């Protein structure tokens, strides 16, 4: 893993520590990298009535978009009940990411061996709906 990815992983770990997940116990942290090199952190935020719960990925994305960011390079996601769990982004987050990110946007995950794995958005979200533009 190169230095930038290590930094991104650290930021995702840092974000995960702030997760508010009293109902599932499933803490997720995300670190979203812009094309200019800025990093936005996000953690999952749960709610007692469940539906308002927001995933870490969308928290990071919406923070960034609300700050005017539109160009993204990748996102590091860490999550689960244990340190070695792997957390793929849910379908809603894949759709939200596909609104702003190109097919070559990268999704960085840490596997159970502690190695990281890279997926492209098109692998996880092929044929995404973008037709209304
Ligand atoms: N969660 C995320 O934050 N990101 C994902 O990609 C999957 C799920 C959160 C939502 C909820 O707070 C908890 O994990 C269990 O689903």
pLDDT in tens, 70-119: 999 999 999 988 888 899 999 999 999 999 999 999 999 998 888 889 99
Domains of the chain (ranges, CATH numbers): 3-124 (3.40.140.10)
Average pLDDT, the chain: 95
Q: How far is the CA of 55 from the centre of ligand 1 (A)?
A: 5
Tokens of 76: 């590091």
Name residues whose C-beta falls within 8 Å of residue 25's C-beta, 6 or more positions apart in sequence.
81
Contacts of 129 (CB under 8 A, 6+ apart): 95, 98
Rounded to the nearest 10 degrees, how much is the dihedral formed by the CA atoms of 1, 14, 61, 109? 30
CA-wise closest residue to 31 among 11, 45, 16: 11
Q: Is-above-0.85 flag for pTM?
A: yes
Question: What is the predicted pLDDT for the residue at 100?
Answer: 96
Distance CA 12, CA 28 (A): 8
Tens of pLDDT along 112-129? 888 889 999 999 999 988
Q: Please give all residues whose beta carbon lies within 6 A of any atom in ligand 1, as ranges.
A: 21, 24, 26, 28, 44, 46, 53, 55-57, 79, 87, 89-90, 93
Ligand 1 center to 26 CA (angstroms): 7
Question: Catalytic amino acids?
Answer: 57
Contacts of 30 (CB under 8 A, 6+ apart): 12, 15, 41, 42, 43, 56, 57, 59, 60, 75, 76, 77, 78
pLDDT in tens, 12-51: 999 999 999 999 999 999 999 999 999 999 999 999 999 9
Tally of CB atoms within 10 A around 15:
28
The pLDDT, as a whole number, for residue 133 is 58
Atom of ligand 1 nearest to the CA of 23: 12
Q: Among the atoms of ligand 1, which is closest to the Cα of residue 53?
A: 12
């Amino acid at each position: 893993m190169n230095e930038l990815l290590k930094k991104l992983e650290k930021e995702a770990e840092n974000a995960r520590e702030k997760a508010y997940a009293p109902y599932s116990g499933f803490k997720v942290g995300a670190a979203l990298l812009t094309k200019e090199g800025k990093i936005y952190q996000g953690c999952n935020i749960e709610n007692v009535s469940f539906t308002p719960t927001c995933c870490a990925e969308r928290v990071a994305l919406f923070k960034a978009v609300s700050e005017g960011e539109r160009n993204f390079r990748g996102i590091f996601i860490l999550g689960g009940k244990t340190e070695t769990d792997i957390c793929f982004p849910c379908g809603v987050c894949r759709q939200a990411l596909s609104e702003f990110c190109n097919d070559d946007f990268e999704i960085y995950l840490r596997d159970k061996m502690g190695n990281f794995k890279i997926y492209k958005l098109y692998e996880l979200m092929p044929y995404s709906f973008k037709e209304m533009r």
